[in-house]
Amino acid sequence: MKNTIVSQISEYYSEKLNRHGETPQGVDWNGSEGQYLRFEKLMQLVNHPQYFSINDIGCGYGALYEYLQATYKTLEYRGVDVSADMIEAAKRRFANCQNASFFHLSIPDEMADYSVASGIFNVKFANKESDWHSYILSTLRQMNSYSAKGFAFNCLTSFSDKEKMRDDLYYADPCYMFQFCKENFSRNVALLHDYNLFEFTILVRKS
């Protein structure tokens, strides 16, 4: 089942990139304002300016790296994505950046201080809710395994307006996700659900 899901994701985002180019729409966001707000929330995970390494899961064309360059001067960035087209675009954009590397993978194969994932759990296609839920939990376990200091992710929220919810999207229960992370990964978990998007962000900090 996971291989099927990964193939669906790869095809979907490759098509978005080919249609919209290296833009927020190319990774299925409405615009840059929401995209950067998501980055801001995810990066609350890192509460110090000194050097750190980070895995970006579902990195797309490297928008998070571009955002990080403006804030953090000493970091090691590693982006992975299931779409080969996305990885080629990222490599082309940041060919001269010595502290960034990009790989065609579904999950990192090297440990980093932190890992983040933005938007990778939203589009479930025609998969069963239970299958997509299992896919998310499996991915979170893998993120935990490759994150020395913590990880962060976002999901669409089950508290979205019912009339606007779509059958092909997955709306996670934020309370369940918070409890799952508390019980399985760390005592230090934060749930951010106070910003003006139909989603939430969870930060898991390891003690």
- pLDDT digit string (tens) for 54-65? 999 999 999 999
- Here the tokens at position 73 are 């001067």
- Here the tokens at position 45 are 């995970």
Kindly tell me if the per-residue pLDDT of 1 is higher than 60: no
Structure confidence by residue, pLDDT tens digits, 74-108:
999 999 999 999 999 999 999 999 999 999 999 99
Kindly tell me if the per-residue pLDDT of 33 is higher than 90: no
Query: How much is the pLDDT for 84?
Result: 93
CATH architecture of 2-98+106-205: 3-Layer(aba) Sandwich (3.40)
Other C-beta atoms within 10 Å of 103: how many? 16
Q: Are strands 147-157 and 199-205 parallel, antiparallel or unpaired?
A: antiparallel
Of the given ranges (3-7, 56-60, 148-152, 168-172), which has the lowest mean pLDDT?
3-7
Whole-number Å distance between alpha carbons of 202 and 197? 14
Specify whether the CB–CB gap between 151 and 120 falls below 8 A.
no
Query: How much is the pLDDT for 9?
Result: 79
| Residue 5, φ and ψ in degrees, nearest 5 | -65, -45
Specify whether the CB–CB gap between 136 and 172 falls below 8 A.
yes
Please report how many Cα atoms fall inside a 13 Å half-sphere around the Cα of residue 173, on the Cβ side.
Answer: 8
The domain locations on the chain are 2-98+106-205
